[in-house]
Structure 1
Amino acid sequence: MYDDVLLATDGSDTASKAVMQGFEIAAKFNASVHILCIGAHAEQANGETSVIDAADSAETIIQTAKQKGRDFDVGVQLAVRTGRPHQEILTYADQQGIDLLVLGTQGRTGLRKLVLGSVATSVVREATQPVLTVSKNVTNVRSTFHEFLIPTSGRPGTAAAITHGIELSAAYSARVHAVYVVDDTISRAPAYLDTVREFGREATNAVAVQSASTGVGTMRQILRGDPATKIQEYIGSHGVDLVVMGTERRTGVDRLVLGSVTERVLASAPVPVLTVRAHET
């Protein structure tokens, strides 16, 4: 599924965990690894902009990456970029034909430090490639995955994420959890809840049918409550080790809109979250 995996890092603890997770995935698919060290521009008190000197940190990251490449027996390409972090990541990914981006959701802050963190949201919003994010709450780097959670809204924008998630679960011989959350924060009227619950059954059944066609087992679940909260609870109660979610563009809006549910989940999930952008029509 993946031939070239981009690991963007600033050397922070969360980014380092993301790098390790990226190496595990690259090794699984015998993919080449691209390590991109990201520096940033700092605005001085006088309003002028200067480049943060990240040479020492970058050198440490590079040497560590070379060793990890040997440990995992994968090819490693190294690059250092200084500028607007999310734009440098996106540009590199497009130029190098990257098919999976991996990064942490919390990076270093402060003068003379590399910066990566808030840019994760921007990358997820704008990247055309799948993006795997690792939050500060992820404690373990996984050598494999067994339980995939694919939340579905039944909207066309989730189709690409569902297909990608099922294909990836098949590669890992994992099980898919197809989950639909009835959002009762909108309304608790019985007619509304019944209608939405039936829509959820149809949506999760569609995931199960698609999974079965590839030999992937599926659990279906209809939940009720705040979607982001229920997804987080489900992760913990069902041993989920990877979440796959979709992002999409809204009609008439040029910038990709990252739904509040997806954004909340990827910011604090205790497991990696893979976001997949909807196919544009």
Structure 2
Amino acid sequence: MGAVRRIVLDHWKVVATFAAIFAIWEFAVLALGVKPYILPKPSVVMTQMFARMPTILDGALATLQPMLIGYVLAVAVGVLLALLVAFSQSFRETLYPVIVFLQIVPKIAVAPLFLIWFGYGLLPKVLLVFLLSFFPIVVSAVSAFRSVDTDIIDLARATGAGPGRIFWKVQLPHALPTLFTGFKVSAALSATGALVAEFVASDRGLGYLLVGYSNNLDTPMAFATILVISIMGLALYAAVEAVERIAIPWHVSRRNTEPELSGNP
């Protein structure tokens, strides 16, 4: 309870904003007499969600697996491809256009093909999450690795540093802030990818439940499912941000702002 209280106190403005939104939503539905199958009250959504929590948790666990596997693969492959593109002119001229083309192809159009090729199961969902997540990582990583000031690299070379030392001591630290930007964008997209994959190529999971609830006009449970997948995406985003705080505490975005908040110069 202490940890929850600390989080609420640290982010009270966000909590207050969401509380106000839900209060307005509740009042508007009640005042306008909107039918529950069109727009349920937040209180009804929460009641229904807790009443069917075992089903929701089972679906969340089924969705979490491809979401995490696809995201981790996107990070690993995305950074590797970005290194090849950033430091090799040949790969930049041949590989990068292919990556851009793959991003342009609508992922929802590819999902039925995955179903034909791989059937129902984990693999097609992981692939779709991967495809949705890896492009922001590649773009941000290429930009990060290529944006190091050449004067800094020349200075490092003048001190006798070799390519490996320059990469680990200069280029990688310089690239990390931009890299984490791509990681966080992809973390949010991974939840979307997992849900979309289950719309097409799954017989379980939150996406599968959402389709069933929508077809049965069970709107409160549809909202509950959307809420749970949103929380999962937010949790992954927060986890990446926590790693960022540990990895680059020196960055300007992570500096302590207490003197400014307290009014000291």
* Alignment TM-score > 0.5, same fold: no
TM-score by length of 1: 0.24
Q: Which has the higher helix share?
A: 2
- Greater RCO structure (CA 8 Å; 6+ sep): 2
Q: Which has the higher strand share?
A: 1
TM-score by length of 2: 0.25
